[in-house]
Chain A
Amino acid sequence: MSILINDDTRVLVQGFTGSQATLHSEQAIEYGTNIVGGVTPGKGGKTHLGKPVFDTVQEAVKNVDPNASLIFVPAPFCKDSILEAAESGIKLIICITEGVPTLDMLVVKKRVDELGITLIGPNCPGIITPGKGKMGIMPASIHIPGSIGIISRSGTLTYEAVKQTTDLGMGQSSCVGIGGDPIPGSSFIDILKMFEDDSQTQAIVMVGEIGGSAEEEAGEYIKNHVTKPVISYIAGQTAPAGKRMGHAGAIIAGGKGTASDKIKTLKDCGVHIAENLVDIGSKVAEVLGR
Chain B
Amino acid sequence: MPVNTKIASKAKEKLSAPFSAEEGKKLYYYLLKTRTVDEANRKFFRQGKLLGTYFSAVGQEATTVVPTFLSRPTDAIGPSHREIGCSITRGIPLKNMLAHLMAKRTGMDKGKCHPCHYGGSEYRIITPASTMAAQTVVVTGCALAFKIRGEDNIGLGFFGEGATAQAGWHEAMNFAGVQKLPIVYICQNNLWAESVPARLQAAITDYSDRAKAYGFPGITIDGNDVVQVYVTVKEAIARARCGEGPTMVECKTYRWYGHSEIDPADYRPKDELEGWKKKDPIPRFEKYLMDQVMLTPADKTKMVADIEKELEEAFEFADKSPLPAPEEALEDVYAPGTFEDWVKGWLK
Q: Are A and B subunits of one complex?
A: no
